[in-house]
Chains A and B, each alone.
Chain A
Amino acid sequence: MNELTEIWTYLAEEPLLWLTATLIAYSLGDAAFKASGKRAYVNPVLIAVTLLAVVLWMTATPYQTYFEGAQFVHFMLGPATVALAAPLYGNLSRIRRSAIPLLCALLAGSVTAILSALGVAYAMGIRGDILVSIAPKSVTAPVALGISESLGGEPTLTAVLVILTGVMGAVMATPLLNRLGVSDWRARGFAVGVASHGIGTARAFQVNETAGAFAGIGMGLNALLTTVLAPLIVSLFI
């Protein structure tokens, strides 16, 4: 028993354990997603995060220790973002042909995301730095943190809201868009990318390659537009 504790103490401090745990948790989430017939609400990210949170809580492992192992997976977010150039290139002629609907949807989706989030939060009595932290929640994490900070929000809270928004978008997109009767993969993907950044884009790629490529553009363009719009819309509420 003593030996076992020793081995645990050693492993718990090594990156290997939490890297492996992250991959196992995701594989379980992905298996559940496939077993469910690829239902949107069986979200692999949500399942993996929940499993890992329970394990960390049960073993009293601090997040920092976990992240030392998981950072290898986290690091790949950068190269994966760069790799989005490939599906964009593959869809370039379709993107050019749909430039006008695309730009209109970008403006409409981006304004709706910021304005409705701030409006609902304001109506619920939320004020001050927490209100400001909500404004960039639809934008990919690194940009959202920068916007939040420059507006006087709390970047760590914004990081949480960004991830929550991503998971919400990924879970609700398919049933919502089916109900609305939108069958154009370009429109479906693009709207999801604008509203729920990379996590929505990951979900779009699971459903359809074209939707994924358009989601990637939506995510990139909304990062730029929100940087300009968020300060303007926030000033309406302060």
Chain B
Amino acid sequence: MVFTAAFQSSATVKGVQHVILHLTTILVFQLVGETLTRSLGWVVPGPVLGMALLLLFFVSAPRIAKAIQPTAQGLLSHLSLLFVPAGVGIVGHLDRMGSDGLGIFLALLISTVLSIAVGALVFSGIARWMGAEE
């Protein structure tokens, strides 16, 4: 994308420069988040704090929020891809579960079903009860 843009109209070149500016903004907020959690010794991961700070920044500067929106959406549209490297790491660990494997598997399976069901039913039930449906 960057290569083709370089040969196209100046408008596209400007667009690429904007993407760089947006990515830089996102990275700066992550950096601030990491620095804060580490220096304060918090358990919250840096990126999560960075997200909260960026949200506050968006609230105070709606024009910037609107400008960054497409770049952020681009990053999030293939969020699944980003979990692949960590996922591959599982394979070497599978045998470590050994004789407890079945119990662990059942625990995760039952707990995930129950947790999604309970969370969704509580949310929609209370929203309906309060008249806050969509």
Interface set of A (CB-CB < 8 Å, partner B): 22-23, 25-26, 30, 43-46, 48-49, 52-53, 56-57, 63, 66-67, 70-71, 73-74, 76-90, 92, 94, 97-98, 100-102, 104-106, 108-110, 112-113, 116-118, 120-121, 124-126, 130, 134, 137-138, 140-143, 146-147, 156-157, 159-161, 163-169, 172-173, 176-177, 180, 182-188, 190-192, 194-196, 198-199, 201-203, 205-206, 212, 218, 220, 223-224, 227
Contacts and interface: CB of A to CB of B under 8 A. Distances in A.
8 contacts: A22-B81, A43-B80, A67-B88, A79-B30, A82-B29, A88-B55, A157-B93, A195-B116
Contacts of A23: 81
Contacts of B21: none
B12 interface: no
Given A48-B87, A78-B46, A184-B124, A108 B80 contact: no
Contacts of A187: 119-121, 123-124, 127
Please tell me the size bucket of the interface on B. Answer: 35 or more
A81 B73 contact: no
Contacts, number: 328
Contact of A172 (B80, B81, B97, B112): B112
A109 B57 CA distance: 29
B76 A80 contact: yes
Contacts of B78: 26, 30
A42 to B, nearest CB: 12
B51 A84 contact: yes
Nearest to B22: A83
A105 B50 contact: no
A105 B89 contact: no
A223 B44 contact: yes
A161 B108 contact: yes
Interface string B44-85: 111110111011011100000100110111011111111111
A27 to B, nearest CB: 9
Given A73-B82, A169-B116, A205-B79, A56 B123 contact: no
B75 A223 contact: no
